[in-house]
Amino acid sequence: MIVDFHYHLMPRMTETSVSMLMPLIARAADIMGRRLDMEALKKKGLATWADPTGERLLETMETAGIDYAVICMVDDASHPGLKAESVQKGNRMVGGVASRYPDRVGGLCGIDPRRPEAPDMLKQSIEEFGVIGMKYHPDYGFDPSGPESYRVLEVLADHGGILLSHTGPLTPPSRARLSDPMRLADLGVDFPEITVIAAHMGAVDWRPWANLAVFQPNFYGDLAMWDTLAFGHYDLFCRELRDIIDLVGPSKVLFGSDGPVYPIAEPAGKWVQLIKDLPDRAPRGIRFTREEVDAILGGNAATILGLG
């Protein structure tokens, strides 16, 4: 079973929102040594990334051989144009897509705890819209273990939900100090009911994440954005992933594509295949077992999500 634990469902795309994502893609393409026609890509993004009904998601899953996807919304209270009302519209949409395909899709709402109504937004998203948890982007300017966040996490804990929280640096204005995996350390103590997934495992500096993952039973990480390293510097990716598995065990790592934006230079299906092929293709001196690969690609996620 293949599970993508990190996919963004976009309610709509504008010229500005597409342009804002371009530097991220350009950087990834650079590391991967790919030349991309950025203008053509912008047009493609504008035409195809918005997916309010989830039809494109299902198409992508079909092509990539992904059985189940966890889709998320992102909220940013520091964005003056983004009001709570329209965030809830997006959260309703995510819940709607998940309920339309209950065997294929699970939904995470986007919540920024700086909003005064954040706890109610989460409550409504879980109870009315049917999401199974939420996505945080602390690097937009809040502390995931601060008092504002704790009000929201109490609601999440009451429902035994999942938190997918961005970790690792991104281009400014992203504040990397706030997306340090160690900022999530208190959650495992104060909210043991919550399954916490550190998106990207903290990226290049994954060791603080690993340090926590060893000791906190409900603390995981996903491989979203690691495809850049995997396609750009395969040997290094294999060494890093081997070290991660040796240090924390194979049960803590979850596959993620960060689609539909991120798998541009290489589609999600090739990312799945690269991991599938690790037991046969890993460089000399590095070995992966089929069991490890199966756990990462879906076994671990299936356990978390209670999938058959």
Query: Which stretches of the chain bind Zn ion, using CB under 5 A?
Result: 258
Task: Please compute, for residue 193, the number of CA atoms within 13 A of its CA located in the half-sphere on the CB side.
Answer: 10
Closest CB to Zn ion among 20 and 214?
Answer: 20
Structure tokens at 264: 């541009």
Give the shortest CB-6-to-Zn ion separation in angstroms: 6
C-alpha–C-alpha distance, residues 261 and 267, integer Å: 10
Closest CB to Zn ion among 108 and 210?
Answer: 108
Residue whose beta carbon is closest to Zn ion: 258
DSSP string of the chain? --EEEEEEPBS---HHHHHHHHHHHHHHHHHHT----HHHHHHHHHHHSB-TTSHHHHHHHHHHT-SEEEEE----TT-TT--HHHHHHHHHHHHHHHHHSTTTEEEEEE--TTSTTHHHHHHHHHHTT--SEEEE-GGGT--TTSHHHHHHHHHHHHTT-EEEEE-S--STTS-GGGG-GGGGTTHHHH-TTSEEEEEGGGTT--HHHHHHHHH-TTEEEE-TTTHHHHHH-HHHHHHHHHHHHHHH-GGGEE----BTTSTTSS-HHHHHHHHHTHHHHPPTT----HHHHHIIIIIHHHHHHT--
Closest CB to Zn ion among 180 and 258?
Answer: 258
Closest CB to Zn ion among 4 and 258?
Answer: 258
Return the sign of the alpha-carbon dihedral for residues 219, 224, 229, 234: positive
Closest CB to Zn ion among 258 and 266?
Answer: 258
Closest CB to Zn ion among 71 and 152?
Answer: 71
Closest CB to Zn ion among 150 and 206?
Answer: 206
Closest CA to 261 of 19, 86, 90, 8: 8
Give the shortest CB-190-to-Zn ion separation in angstroms: 25
Give the shortest CB-135-to-Zn ion separation in angstroms: 8
Give the shortest CB-8-to-Zn ion separation in angstroms: 6
Closest CB to Zn ion among 112 and 258?
Answer: 258
* 253, 6 contact by CB (below 8 A): no
Give the shortest CB-61-to-Zn ion separation in angstroms: 17
Determine if the peptide bond prior to 250 is cis (ω within 30°).
no
Closest CB to Zn ion among 203 and 244?
Answer: 203
Give the shortest CB-28-to-Zn ion separation in angstroms: 13
Give the shortest CB-140-to-Zn ion separation in angstroms: 13
Give the shortest CB-97-to-Zn ion separation in angstroms: 17
Give the shortest CB-49-to-Zn ion separation in angstroms: 13
